[in-house]
Amino acid sequence: MSHKDQPWFKREGLALLTDLYELTMCAGQLGEGRADRRVSFNYFFRSLPPNSGFAVTAGLDPFLDYLENLRFTEDDIAYLRSLNMFKEEFLDYLKSFRPEVNVSAIAEGSLVFPYEPIVQVEGTILETQLNETALLNIMNYQTLIATKAARIYLAANGEPIMEFGLRRAHGPDGGVSGARAAYIGGCSATSNVLAGAVYGIPVAGTHAHSWVMSFGSELEAFRAFGRQFPKRCVMLVDTYDTIKSGVPNAIAAFKEMHAQGNFVRPAIRLDSGDLAKLSKEAYALMRSAGFDDPMIVASNELNEDLIADLKRQGAKINAWGVGTQLITSADCPALGGVYKLVSILDNGEWTPRVKVSSNVEKATDPARKQVLRYYGADGAPLGDVMYQMEEGWPEMGPILGRKRNQPYRTSRLEGAVRSEPLLETVMENGKRLRATEAVADIRTRALAQMAAFPEEFKRLRNPEIYKVMLSDSLGELKERLLANPEEF
Amino acid sequence: MSHKDQPWFKREGLALLTDLYELTMCAGQLGEGRADRRVSFNYFFRSLPPNSGFAVTAGLDPFLDYLENLRFTEDDIAYLRSLNMFKEEFLDYLKSFRPEVNVSAIAEGSLVFPYEPIVQVEGTILETQLNETALLNIMNYQTLIATKAARIYLAANGEPIMEFGLRRAHGPDGGVSGARAAYIGGCSATSNVLAGAVYGIPVAGTHAHSWVMSFGSELEAFRAFGRQFPKRCVMLVDTYDTIKSGVPNAIAAFKEMHAQGNFVRPAIRLDSGDLAKLSKEAYALMRSAGFDDPMIVASNELNEDLIADLKRQGAKINAWGVGTQLITSADCPALGGVYKLVSILDNGEWTPRVKVSSNVEKATDPARKQVLRYYGADGAPLGDVMYQMEEGWPEMGPILGRKRNQPYRTSRLEGAVRSEPLLETVMENGKRLRATEAVADIRTRALAQMAAFPEEFKRLRNPEIYKVMLSDSLGELKERLLANPEEF
């Protein structure tokens, strides 16, 4: 059995990965004779992580894996029975339960924005409710980490980024799922071997301080490492004293290798101290030793801000190892994505619903949707417009719509020459319509979209706000529903 | 197969859950003919989460599960071969690899402090190195979350806390491992049904806004919920307007149930708005309706500080649902625990090692260790002392030692009447010496230790620093090694 076929990574056996209230609501709907009512739910988030101009969506394929494999085992049923909360009628229902939902979604690796329906799930109230928690759990985390990785990718400006976060990730799967998302967002490799095996992500890494400490001397440790990995060895130079001991010993070891005819690229890693100053000093020493193009890897609590600042100070670093700050998205460790009911099928007709709030910004956007992305003559995205799925939409030209948080006010996009519907149907009646995408292809999509978006949305601080508006008809509907949310 | 016997929860199949450099170092040691040298590693952290006076250790049993099941499958070997980095000699070694390590550890659920060896692993350099990343991954996360939960437990002052974080946890296992740790730290229940099934944690939860929205009116939704769950129903009252609509409708529904002879306890949940103000208004309305002891659950971005402040303002809340802030430890989403070489067996003799650092605080404490906790006449802990495992230690009386960050300076504990060694051997030659502990028993230990520690270490802001010192002999050794770290 290959790694990616293991039950966990196929998201099998996770029927109970849900908040209890999803089950009580499902049991309640069944008890009320309402379990077969068809509804539509949207997954979206309300705000981007701080200072981000966009998010990179990730986690769709693992969520579809979960849906395809969603069934209640005998053990699941026995456990639920032991809670003394559920009637046998409901447990019987679960025994033969198979989700037959329709799912449309924005492709993984796409740039997405607040309030856009990233995943739209339709089916009976029971089956759509049952997957809520797992959808949120999988998509929130992976989208969060892909977004953080994208910021680090922008800061590193084309230089390779290695994801080193496994030891600080939130448990084993936090590390593996996180490595997947980090790669999608722009990392070039991971230290996490299991993520490499499961998702085909390139793996990277050399040695730790303990390697050096286990030898009689630092030079002896470097010599031994060069002997064992003659094709690629990065010497960690800060076990004792980076400039007085580590770099000179690494230079000596590489010189010996070169003298023996092995012209491996001299490479060191700095893991403590002032990375700007030390990298410049190390670079000067290595250049003086006759090494034209040394590789200098830096690690130690790096994030996009520190990378950008080290570059500003002219640090001589050309590869970046990023761990804790990436794998936990340390400055914003959760994406607040939610899953909200947007429409109910009543007597054969879809009836849009809205959840009001004392804060109008938080009110949901009603109706089953399609999202169109419009592009200008220069090929760059101009803005996104949410439409009711049933309405038509112009493919180009000036687009007149409404502001989503003030639906009584108009808004417009000018100069669109091309458009693209973002939501595509990926599952029908519980069956996937396409094969699992290779993670490398999803990453390629993310990098291409990042390249296509204008600079103003990619600034690391205070980016411009990308325009997302409602179609005129959706805006009108929302305005009407907010005035009387219980009219339906 | 019961839930806890599933491969993932037994931490099977995780041999590749490691940073690549652990494998390159192992291959290197084997290539250098040094793989069988015996060494001792310590797992410890250098600093507590901000404002914490202590940490609660968690994750030991899952780590021991991982160790017991650690073996490389044919697929693992095939993947490693495909990397073109490793010699067949090393891959052969892995094929028959079984860890035969000795592990001593501080019991899960114990209060622990910076620099204390929480887990001490001994064995060959190869087997001790191979488990580093998994140990850090499992222990860092669970200890982080148990510690956060303990702070929330202290703030809630005996009132029940429900862990609701699954939808914002870092992937499926982040949710399940996190629920385990949150329960150990003092939560009383989780919404996560899978965590309930795997670890026997009580589960809790009622309904969401979508339940209300799927009915024609809020009152109809509450009536239906009461019909379906007549024994325990908590009505979520903030879908439309908490005070004008939600609470009056909940009161009406409960009155109807009481009139029908079902005297279920009236219970509501507030999930938005000003929780202090709304809870007082809701409480007044429910009391006026003749309900003597209403249950008012609050949720929405709660953490220990907000709970403490809501209590200070007299909020009428008697149960707490805590999600994102707990399951991600949002103000500190990683514990920086590390795993450091402390001794090498050389010609039959343990030879302590130290890793120096430009920051003396970060220098490691050498030698295989035991930690003694000393108690005063009032039964409260006075301080902990790290000893070399080979030395003797006094069981009471004044203890003279050294400061760990200034080992040339003396330190002392006065008035100890009793002591307890904290590290116990839990695995010998790769075999567990005791059965897996019930998570409820680990939780009981954590709550008992929290009760025993004096108030000054349990303050939520600016707590006192608990004393952890080195024995005189360990301090003298550290002083000598720091002066000449490469003498061995």
Handedness of CA A275, A160, A437, B9 (dihedral sign): negative
Instruction: Give per-residue burial for A104-139: e unless 16+ CB within 10 Å, then b.
Output: bbbbbbbbbbbbbbbbbbbbbbbbbbbbbbbbbbbb
Is residue A101 within 8 angstroms of chain B, CB to CB?
no
pLDDT truncated to tens, each residue of chain B (488 aa)? 789 889 999 999 999 999 999 999 999 999 999 988 999 999 999 999 999 999 999 999 999 999 999 999 999 999 999 999 999 999 999 999 999 999 999 999 999 999 999 999 999 999 999 999 999 999 999 999 999 999 999 999 999 999 999 999 999 999 999 999 999 999 999 999 999 999 999 999 989 988 998 898 999 999 999 999 999 899 999 988 999 999 999 999 999 999 999 999 999 999 999 999 999 999 999 999 999 999 999 999 999 999 999 999 999 999 999 999 999 999 999 999 999 999 999 899 999 988 776 667 778 999 999 999 999 999 999 999 999 999 999 999 899 999 999 999 999 999 999 999 999 999 999 999 999 999 999 999 999 999 999 999 999 999 999 999 999 999 999 999 988 765 43
**Cα–Cα distance between B161 and B357 in angstroms, integer?**
42
Is residue B74 within 8 angstroms of chain A, CB to CB?
no
- Using only C-alpha atoms, chain B has a radius of gyration, in whole angstroms, of 26
**Cα–Cα distance between B316 and B112 in angstroms, integer?**
34
Longest dimension (CA), chain A: 84
State CA A388 to chain mean position distance.
Answer: 27
Tokens, residue B222: 């509450």
Backbone dihedral angles phi then psi of residue A484, each to the nearest 5 degrees: -150, 75
Mutual orientation of helices A20-31 and A88-95 as an angle, nearest 10°?
110
CB contact under 8 A, B17 and A169: no
CB contact under 8 A, B225 and A28: yes
**Cα–Cα distance between A12 and A218 in angstroms, integer?**
47
Is residue A217 within 8 angstroms of chain B, CB to CB?
yes
Q: Which of B3, B28, B192 lies closest to A225 in CB terms?
A: B28
B195's torsion region: left (phi>0), alpha (psi -120 to 50) or beta?
A: alpha
**Cα–Cα distance between A341 and A120 in angstroms, integer?**
10
Shortest distance between the Cα of B109 and any Cα of chain A, in A, equals 18
Which distant-in-sequence residues (6+ apart) come within 8 Å of B348 by Cβ? none
**Cα–Cα distance between A161 and B423 in angstroms, integer?**
39
**Cα–Cα distance between B20 and A262 in angstroms, integer?**
23
Is residue B125 within 8 angstroms of chain A, CB to CB?
yes
Instruction: Give per-residue burial for B80-96: e unless 16+ CB within 10 Å, then b.
Output: beeeebbeeebbebbee
Residue B327 sits at the vertex; the CA angle it makes with B323 and B329, to the nearest 5 degrees, is 110
- pLDDT tens profile A335-354: 999 999 999 998 999 999 88
Nearest CA in chain A to B138: A171
* DSSP per-residue codes, A194-213: HHHHHH---B-----HHHHH
Which distant-in-sequence residues (6+ apart) come within 8 Å of A220 by Cβ? none
Q: Looking at this protein, which amino acid is placed at residue B106? A: I
**Cα–Cα distance between B222 and B246 in angstroms, integer?**
9
CB contact under 8 A, B172 and A353: no
Q: What residue spans of A157-262 are helical by DSSP H?
A: 171-185, 193-199, 209-213, 218-228, 247-259
Closest CA to A180 of A438, A426, A434: A438
Q: What residue spans of B265-382 are helical by DSSP H?
A: 275-288, 304-312, 324-327
Token pair 């390779």 is found at A160
Nearest CA in chain A to B346: A214
Is residue A273 within 8 angstroms of chain B, CB to CB?
yes
Contacts 24+ apart (CB under 8 A), B391-396: B391/B471, B391/B473, B391/B474, B393/B419, B393/B471, B394/B419, B395/B419
Shortest distance between the Cα of A162 and any Cα of chain B, in A, equals 11
- Using only C-alpha atoms, chain A has a radius of gyration, in whole angstroms, of 26
| CB < 8 Å from A in window 139-178 of B | 140-142, 164, 166-178
Shortest distance between the Cα of B482 and any Cα of chain A, in A, equals 11
